[in-house]
Every structure is written in C-alpha cells, then in structure tokens.
Amino acid sequence: MKQAFNLRLATETIAKDAQELGVSIEELENISIKVSAEIIQQPALQLVLTYQVTLPSQILANQFNWPTWQQTQVNFTDYLWEETCLECFIAGSKIVRCKTDGEDVVASDQTEPHKIPLQQATAYIEINTSPDGRYAVYQFESYRNPSILPPVPLYETDGTTRTSVGWRNCKELADTSGESHLSKTPMVVQTPAHYERSFSLPITQLQNQQYTIANMRIEQIHPCVILWFGETDLYFAPGHTSPPDFHNRDYWPNFEL
C-alpha cells in the first residue's frame, strides 16, 4: 500500500519567476511533482519515499539544476536547501518509557499535559536529500526549535552515529520506450523532462500496527521539494502557508499507512 502526494507550487512570486525563466505562468503551474510513501519489509522494515518530477517544457529542462547521481557524494551534508532539494518532514508523538512499570507508552496530545514535556507532542524530523546522493536528517523539539543553523542532526540509538538514508536509485538512464522500469530495477529512468529519486529510512512497528521512526510514532508526513532553475527557486508542497513555510505543521497531511 502506498500513500500518494501531489505537490503544488507556491504561487506568491509566480509572475516574477515565469519572467525570469522565460516561460509562461501556465508552464510553471504545469510542473508535476508526485511523491509516494510506502512501507516495505525487505531487507528490513523501512519507509520508502519516491519523488517524481516532470517538467512541461524543454526550456525549463535546460535550466533545471538536477545534479547527477554520484556514489562518492553519499554523505551527510548541511544546507542542502540552498540548491535543488527533496525534503520530507515527519512528525508524531514520542515513545517514552514509564518509570513505574517499565512499559513503553506513547506521548500524545490527548495525554494529560502535566505528564508530558511539550516537545514530546510537537517533535519532528526533517529529511533533506540532493539528487546527487548527499543527505541530512535533522531533529526538532518543536516548531524550528532548536533554532540554530545548521539544525541538530538526528542520531541513531547509540547517540554518536548520524541517521542516514538508504538510496534506492543509483544511476540515471535515458528512457527511450516511454515506460518506467523502476519496479524492475533499482536504477532511475529519466527522460529529458522526467526525473526521479527514491530513498528509505529504517522504521519499527508497534504491536498496534502503528509505525515509529527515531522513537517517535509517525502521525504526519509532509513531503516537499525545492527546485532550482538557474538562480530561481520554486517551492512545492501538498499545501502552503503564505509565504511558504515547510515547517508549519498545520499544512502537513496525516500519515495513513
């Protein structure tokens, strides 16, 4: 089962952006970005995110900053949002251990407020990836908090290893048949106007069929994208504030897997 998202362009500066890129407003509105989220079991339980970008014109494709995949680039890198960046925000309630009986419980918004620190109900993680293989995974206690830059990395349970993503696409191939072969091979199929990347994050499953990541029950998921065309950046998300703010949780869809 997959959860699908159609990302929309933030339109506050669309007239200026179209003029800078030498295209019509309609062409910018016709940029298609689809993201799917899927839970897979093999080789281990993981959440797979696949981003598909389709540009409606060669003029846009010629200006598109989409770095080529390089295995040597796969490492934790800050400030990826300053270039073409595939992002995803995941939010939910922290899993906390009860000191009295040793059982794991979920800290949710419905639990008595005095028993849960505020950040346990508002925590979230931010995933940044570049098409060339670079990535970053950050953690926040609440809205943009901590406010330092670069943000605080998310660490594995050992407290010293930074959380990483697992890339599922390792090459770019010209597609002459017009068909997608992603289901048959881990390699990316790319036409001049179609671009795709897929990566995964390890997750765990609770007894009640709910999924967790980084000791947090997944309740909301917000895939979004920043595309750079030369010096012009465009923002895409399922929903937008004005001006765009990917961190605003009011616009994040519920996680339905």
pTM of the model: 0.84
- The pLDDT assigned to 159 comes to 81
Place of tokens 């995803």: 88
What pLDDT, on the 0 to 100 scale, is given for residue 233? Answer: 97
CB 39 within 8 A of CB 211: yes
- The helix, strand and coil proportions of the chain, stated in percent and rounded to the nearest 5, come to 15, 40, 45
Average pLDDT for runs of 10 along the chain of length 257: 94 96 96 96 90 95 94 95 97 69 48 39 91 96 93 87 86 40 39 85 86 90 97 96 92 92
Domains within the chain, CATH numbers bracketed: 2-251 (2.60.40)
The closest alpha carbon to 152, from 166, 162, 167, 165, belongs to: 162
What's the pLDDT score for residue 183? 33
pLDDT of residue 121: 60
